[in-house]
Structure 1
Amino acid sequence: MSDLEFDILDELYFLIHFDDLKKALGLSDEDLKPLLSKMARKKWLRCYSEPDVELDAASIDIEIGYRNYYYLASKEGLKAHNS
């Protein structure tokens, strides 16, 4: 796990919108998008279209919709973060 992945997971203990995540980490869209995509492939995070609407893994399109999503660490992500 990279330092940035660790920092992202730190922020994902609670549901957070992309804009707030980006601001909290001080990263640009171009820096954050590939990390989120990689973490989604590892199943370390869950994506929501609205605070109460979780997206099915098959319907997540990080390449296009990443700016509109809310993010939350998955069980796998929390395990990786705490190992």
Structure 2
Amino acid sequence: MTNNEFDLLDELYFVQPYSYLKETLGWEDDQLLVTLQSLFEKQYIKCLLEPDDEVFDQIDLKAKGKDLYYLATKKGLMNHNAL
């Protein structure tokens, strides 16, 4: 797990919108979207359309990532806490 992935997972113990992540971490869109994509591919995070509406299909985070909410998965939390 990269430092960016670790820092991002720190913010995803609860459902968070993209805007919160961008403001809290202070990252550029490209860095945030690439890191979200990486975590999603590892099944470390869930993507949600609304705070209680999970996306189950593949999603292009570069195109739609700014409109979503995010939450760490059990797998993501287990890996995060193991470090």
RMSD: 0.9
TM-score, normalising length: structure 1: 0.93
After TM superposition, the structure 1 = structure 2 runs for residues 26-65 of structure 1, keeping only pairs within 5 Å, are 26-56=26-56, 58-65=57-64
Deviating runs (4+, > 6 A) in structure 1? Answer: none
After TM superposition, the structure 1 = structure 2 runs for residues 19-30 of structure 1, keeping only pairs within 5 Å, are 19-30=19-30
Structure 1: unaligned runs, 5 residues or longer:
none
- Aligned counterparts of 1:61 and 1:10: Cα–Cα separation in 2: 23
The size of the alignment, in residue pairs, is 82
Aligned partner of residue 80 in structure 1, secondary structure: helix
Structure 2: unaligned runs, 5 residues or longer:
none
Identity across the alignment (%): 41
TM-score, normalising length: structure 2: 0.93
